[in-house]
Structure formats: structure tokens, C-alpha cells
Amino acid sequence: MSLRWLPSLRGSEVTDRRLYLDRRRFLATTAAGVLLSAVASTRSSRAAPLSGVVPGPFSTDEEQTPFSDVTTYNNFYELGPDKDDPAKNAGRFRVRPWSVAIEGECAKPGVIAYEDLIRPHRLEERVYRLRCVEGWSMVIPWVGMPLAKVLERFEPNSRAKFVEFTTIYAPDQLPGQRLPLLNWPYREALRMDEAMHPLTIFAVGLYGEELLPQNGAPIRLVVPWKYGFKSIKSIVSIRFREDQPVTTWSQAAPSEYGFYANVNPNVDHPRWSQAKERRIGEFFRRETLMFNGYADQVAGLYAGMDLARHY
């Protein structure tokens, strides 16, 4: 993603001074201070393990991107615009308690606690490719559940043609939201058939552990055949809609980021080619695959559509 019109912003400028002072005060008053500050400086700390995870379908056996890269090379503009900002600036982000509002065209709207949202579902590991629109990619062993199974419980009605997702808005916890980087809160959406597709998941973990804040804790979308910006993090609302929602990146730069955002090596971004990608950890660039390698599963969703127009 790129924000040409903004002056470049370093992580240190968005570091919250009060957080820094609070932490200093805390460390000064605890005997474990030295130990804690050592832990805090290893930025890819581990999260709580998840139990009962079973292997899920559609996993690739390609080499997995190391945990340390997956948790320190991130896009999460709410925590700053640079790749290492999210891991550094997540200290104030509270991901519990958490609830999600279910709204719009469905029979059972309401607000549901995170634990109740995920409890009825079996946790599966799905090793998916993630291809960012910027030209890099990773292979990540997500833990999650099919989005369709979650959405069905709220009984979407026949007017529900799209599903819109919204990220938490909490500028006190998310320093990037105090800056005009994007039109906050971050919004994304899928067509109903895309949302209900068996590849689409709600992820709650990776590498067998709960998501760290920088990866979109406690619950995020993963849509592996689309550019990474569709996989919205830290979701607080799900709205079933009849009309096509306006999404954050397509609003910020409509000619660069479309609603569909299907990975497509034949349709270039206006400022760069999408034919190749750099897999994090590899030296040579590799060919980008149509629909990120998931064409057998999803090409049918777009039969007859001009993908150069519906980018």
C-alpha cells in the first residue's frame, strides 16, 4: 500500500510518550523490571497456545514463513505505517474483552462476545499463501474456522448480497488512528458468495497460538485468493448489506485498489507490475499465480466478469 501524498513518518514519531512514561514507572517499581524490559525488546513475543486445533483443508505444503517474520513485518496502519511499527506500537492495544456486533440484513442481529462467537466452532489449521498488493508474500499456518459457518448462525436474509467488516476504532489504543493516514475505521467487504466460500476463514491464531495484536487479534478475516488488504484485522462489526459497501483502500485510491482485489498477475497496479512477488525470506522473486494459486477453487465465482475492469 502506499500513501504518496503523506510526508514519510517514522515509528518513533508515533510512539506514545505517556505509554513510555507509564512503562518506565512500572519497571521502576517492580523487581522483575530488568527481565520484563528484556522480554519487551524481543518484539516477536509468543502468545497463548490454542488447544484442539485439527488440520483443515486447502493447506499448501510450501515452506512456511518464520514466526518472527510473520509477527514483525506487518501492515496494520492503525499501529503505524512502517512494517515494523505494528509490533512496536501494540503495547496499548487491549484485545480482551472483545465483542462483535452483527447488523443489517439478517434474522438474528445482536452483539456477541468473542468467546461465544468462536466457541461453537472447531479450530482448524490452514496453511495459506498471503500475497500483499505491494509485491511481497508469505506462507502462514493460520488457525481459524470457515467464515460461512459463523455467518450462517445469524441467518442472513435474501437481501444480503454483501458482507461488510469494520475494524475497532480506538485512537487511545491505536496511535495510527490519531493520524489522517486512512479514513478510519478501516472497512472491508466481500460479495456474499465470496464470504461463504469454503476457502474464506475467520482467523483467531497462527502457528498454533492466539493472534498477536499486530496480526489482527483477536479475530480477522483471511481471504487467500485476494490481495492482503481484503483480510481485515481486529473486527468489531459484521454487517449484511444489499448494496456494495465502500471499502477503505478503494476509497483512498480508487484507481489503484479495487473492490475485488483478486490476485492477478495479468492486471498490473497503475504504478507497478503484479507479475512477480518476493516471498519473504527468499532472494529471487517468483511468479505470481492467478488467484494466488487458488484458481481451481475460485475462478468460477468470476465467470464472465472482465477482471481488468473489476480489479
Contact set with ligand MTE (CB under 6 A): 1, 74-78, 130, 132, 167, 186, 215-216, 228-229, 231-234
Closest separation in Å from C-beta 103 to ligand MTE: 18
How far from 296 is each of 36, 159, 199, 226, 289, CA to CA, in Å? 48, 29, 11, 14, 12
Q: Which is nearer to ligand MTE, 160 or 223 (CB)?
A: 223
- Residue 225 · residue 263 · CB < 8 Å: yes
Q: If we measure between CA atoms, which residue out of 101, 99, 135, 137 comes closest to residue 115?
A: 99
Closest separation in Å from C-beta 134 to ligand MTE: 7
In whole angstroms, what is the distance from residue 311 CA to residue 296 CA?
Answer: 19
Q: Which is nearer to ligand MTE, 105 or 204 (CB)?
A: 204
Q: Which is nearer to ligand MTE, 56 or 177 (CB)?
A: 177
Closest separation in Å from C-beta 55 to ligand MTE: 21
Nearest residue by C-beta to ligand MTE? 228
Phi then psi for residue 294, to 5 deg, are: -110, 25
Q: Which is nearer to ligand MTE, 74 or 154 (CB)?
A: 74
As given in the structure block, the three cell numbers for residue 209 are: 497460538
Q: Which is nearer to ligand MTE, 105 or 136 (CB)?
A: 136
- Residue 271 · residue 256 · CB < 8 Å: yes
Closest separation in Å from C-beta 227 to ligand MTE: 7
In whole angstroms, what is the distance from residue 224 CA to residue 141 CA?
Answer: 12
Closest separation in Å from C-beta 268 to ligand MTE: 18
